[in-house]
Amino acid sequence: MKKSKANQKEIISAAPLLDKFFVYGTLKVGGHFSTRFDRLRKSDEKAIIIGFDLYDLGSFPAVTKGDGEVVGELHKYSDPKEALAHMDMIEGYNGDPDHDLYKRIIIPVTIKGGEQIDAWVYVFNNKIPNHAKKIVNGCWEI
C-alpha cells in the first residue's frame, strides 16, 4: 500500500526529537551557516558516519549512502526544535520526499573512543550531478 504525502509528513513529524546532529559541510563550526547556531550549540566534537560517501557540489557538499566514511562534527543543541526548523530551511527539507533537496534521517554516528550515538543527518535526496566530485578522504574543507 502506497503512503500518501500527508501520511509521510505525519510519520516524519512524529519522529523522535533528538538534540544531536551530524554536520559535514556548511553547518560545521567555521562553516558558512555555523554562526546561525552559535547561541543554540551546547557542544561539538569530531565524528564520522560509516556507509556514506561525500560529494563536492560546488558551494556545498552532499552525503549519499555508499561504502565510505564521512568526517564531520556531532553537534548538540539546547533547543533542538528551533535548530531543526533552521536546518530544515537551509537544507531544503520540508518532509516531502518527492521535492526535498535533502532528506533528514537518524543514523548512528561514531565519536572518539568508538562510541556510537544516534543523530540527525541530512542525506542528499537527488541524483548526484555529473559535475560533482567525490571527496575521497570524506572531509569537506571549510
Span 27-83, pLDDT tens digits: 999 999 999 999 999 999 999 999 999 999 999 999 999 999 999 999 999 999 999
User: Is residue 75 in some structural domain?
Assistant: yes
Judge contact between 135 and 61, C-beta under 8 A. Answer: yes
What SS3 class is residue 101? Answer: coil
User: Is residue 96 in some structural domain?
Assistant: yes
Confidence class of residue 10 from pLDDT cuts 50, 70 and 90? very low
User: Is residue 47 in some structural domain?
Assistant: yes
User: Is residue 139 in some structural domain?
Assistant: no
Q: Tell me, what's the pLDDT at 95? A: 92
User: Is residue 113 in some structural domain?
Assistant: yes
Judge contact between 27 and 40, C-beta under 8 A. Answer: no
pLDDT of residue 24 exceeding 80: yes
CA distances from 101 to 29, 67, 84, 87, 104 (A): 22, 22, 15, 12, 10
β-sheet bridge partners, residue 119: 107
Q: Tell me, what's the pLDDT at 16? A: 65
Question: What span, in angstroms and rounded, lies between the C-alpha atoms of 45 and 122?
Answer: 18
pLDDT tens by residue, 85-109: 999 999 999 999 999 999 999 999 9
User: Is residue 84 in some structural domain?
Assistant: yes
CATH number at residue 117: 3.10.490.10
Question: What span, in angstroms and rounded, lies between the C-alpha atoms of 62 and 78?
Answer: 26
pTM of the predicted protein model: 0.87
Q: How many domains does the chain have?
A: 1
Half-sphere exposure of residue 74, counting CA atoms within 13 Å on the CB side? 20
Which H or E run contains 11?
A: helix 5-13
pLDDT of residue 1 exceeding 90: no
Which comes out higher in pLDDT, residue 13 or 83?
83
Maximum CA extent, the chain: 45
User: Is residue 133 in some structural domain?
Assistant: no
Q: Which domain holds residue 112?
A: 21-127
